[in-house]
Amino acid sequence: MERIAEGLAEEPLVMPDARRVVALALFVCVAYYLGARLGFALTFQPNPISTLWPPNAILLAALLLAPPRQWVVLILAALPAHIASQLQSHVPVSMVLEWFASNCSEALIGALLVRRLLGDELRFDSLHHTLVFIACVGLVAPFVSSFLDAALVVMNGWGGANYWDLWTQRISSNIVSELAIVPVIATWLGSAGAGRRPSRPAPAEWALLVGAVDVEAKHVRRLLAEEHVDEPADTFVEETAQRLIRLVGLPIPEGLEGGSDLL
C-alpha cells in the first residue's frame, strides 16, 4: 500500500485524473481486503459483528478523496475484495452481497454529508471541519447504516444475537473504526495526491488504535456475557489487543504473550 501511496505523489502537484482514480481504486481493493481480514480476525463467534471493522472506513476515506463522479469506480474496486474476504470466512452468499450494500451505505452516507456541508475539501486543521466530520462520519453514518445491517443479519439468521444487540455492537464498532481510520487515510493519501510525501503513522497513533480496540472489546465482552456466551473474561480483551498488535507488527507486551495466532 505504501508503493501505491508513493505512486500518488509522482507528479509535482496533482496527478492526472485518470491515473489518480486508478491508483486510488487499487488502494481501495487491497486495503479493503486486508481490513476485512482484520475485521474477521477480531470477530468472536457466535456473534457476527467484529470488534473493529475497517473496510467501511477505508471505502469512506477513499470517497472523500475523489469527486462524486468517480465514486462508482471506487465502490466497484471494493467489490472483489469484499467477496473474496467474506467467502474465505464462510459467510453465506446472500449475506455477502447484502453486507456489501450495508457497507457501501455507510460510506456513501458519510461522504455525501461531508460533501454537502463542507464542499470538496476536508481539513482536519479546522475545528469546524473536524466537528462536522465527527458528526457525519463518526456518528450519523454508523447510526443510520446499522439499522440496515442488523436487519439483514437477523433476516439471514446469521449469528444468535437479537436485533438491538446486533445494532448496538455494530454502531459502537463502526464508530471506533471511522474515527480511528478515516483521518489517517484521508491525511496520508491526501498528502500524496497533493505532491507531499505521506508520513508513516506514529507509534502514538498505533497506541490510540489499540486502546480503541481495547475499549470496544470490553463492550463486546459485556454483550457476550448478557447473551450467556462462554468467553473467558480474563483473556477476551487481551486476545483482542494481541491480535491487533501482531497484525501491525509491534512487539507484544509481556503481559499479553502466550495467546493464539492471528489467523
Residue 241: which pLDDT band, with cuts at 50, 70 and 90? low
Task: Report whether pLDDT(246) > 50.
Answer: yes
- Is 91 strand, coil or helix? coil
Higher pLDDT among residues 47 and 33, named by residue: 33
Identity of residue 186: A
pTM exceeds 0.75, yes or no = no
pLDDT computed for residue 261 by the predictor: 40
Burial class (CB in 10 A: 0-12, 13-18, 19+), 120: exposed
Least confident of 70-84, 179-193, 245-259: 245-259
- Give the chain's mean pLDDT: 76
Task: Report whether pLDDT(59) > 60.
Answer: yes
Cα 241 from Cα 163, distance rounded (Å): 27
The mean pLDDT of 190-194, rounded to a whole number, is 54
Cα 43 from Cα 40, distance rounded (Å): 5
Task: Report whether pLDDT(201) > 60.
Answer: no
pLDDT computed for residue 158 by the predictor: 74
Task: Report whether pLDDT(184) > 60.
Answer: yes
Query: 2-200: which CATH number, 3.40.50, 1.10.1760, 1.10.260, 2.60.40?
Result: 1.10.1760
pLDDT computed for residue 221 by the predictor: 57
The mean pLDDT of 18-45, rounded to a whole number, is 89
Higher pLDDT among residues 8 and 46, named by residue: 46
pLDDT digits (tens, 9 = 90+) for 101-145: 999 999 999 999 999 999 888 888 888 988 999 999 999 999 999
Cα 166 from Cα 188, distance rounded (Å): 32
Least confident of 144-158, 159-173, 188-202, 243-257: 243-257
pLDDT computed for residue 18 by the predictor: 79
Task: Report whether pLDDT(15) > 90.
Answer: no
pLDDT computed for residue 80 by the predictor: 96
Cα 81 from Cα 59, distance rounded (Å): 11
Task: Report whether pLDDT(1) > 60.
Answer: no
Q: For the chain, which residues make up each domain, given as ranges?
A: 2-200
Helices (H), the chain: 2-7, 17-41, 54-65, 71-88, 93-118, 127-133, 141-156, 163-193, 203-226, 236-248
The mean pLDDT of 65-90, rounded to a whole number, is 94
Cα 7 from Cα 98, distance rounded (Å): 33
Task: Report whether pLDDT(56) > 60.
Answer: yes
Cα 157 from Cα 231, distance rounded (Å): 22
pLDDT computed for residue 89 by the predictor: 87
Which residue is listed with cell 486495503? 31
Higher pLDDT among residues 186 and 202, named by residue: 186
